[in-house]
Amino acid sequence: MDKDKVTQTGPDEAKKTDRIHAKPLPDILDEMDANIRAAAQAAKRAEEAAKSAKAAAAAATAASKEAQGAAEKAAEEATRQSREALAEAARKAREAAEEAKRAADEAAGEATKRAREIAEEVKDLALELALVIRNAKIHSSETFVNEVDAFRDKWSKSK
């Protein structure tokens, strides 16, 4: 059966009429009025939802801008702190290098001083040994042995 058509059969022949003519006019008007009101309410709810969505989008945009500002500020602060830390590390490294150089210079100075002292001792030892050998040639071999023993005793005690 067709939705828009209502079939009425009579004794002579089937008669077709429109659905509008099948209902009384006040019922049709009431139904139309109810549909219009429902459509108006749906439109009003859709408008309110659109306003809410617009407000939510504005709030999200504002939050996004605020987050972006906070992120930029945090990035600037992190960059500043990194630069400060890098400068501090460079300063400390420079100070440590200078201190190491001073310590190395001091150690080198001490080593040079000690090497000179040892060289002087070796020089004195060589001169004294040369004198012992010269005297041994001049004197007898017993005197040579005594001078070598005295020389050995002297240098073994000075260590």
pLDDT in tens, 35-55: 999 999 999 999 999 999 999
**CA gap 51, 49 in Å, rounded:** 5
**CA gap 30, 24 in Å, rounded:** 10
Task: Report which residue type is found at 63.
Answer: A
What predicted TM-score, i.e. pTM, was given to this entire model? 0.43
**What confidence tens digit (pLDDT) does each residue in 72-124 have?**
999 999 999 999 999 999 999 999 999 999 999 999 999 998 998 888 888 88
**CA gap 7, 21 in Å, rounded:** 12
Alpha carbon of 111 to those of 105, 106, 121, 125: distances in Å? 10, 9, 15, 21
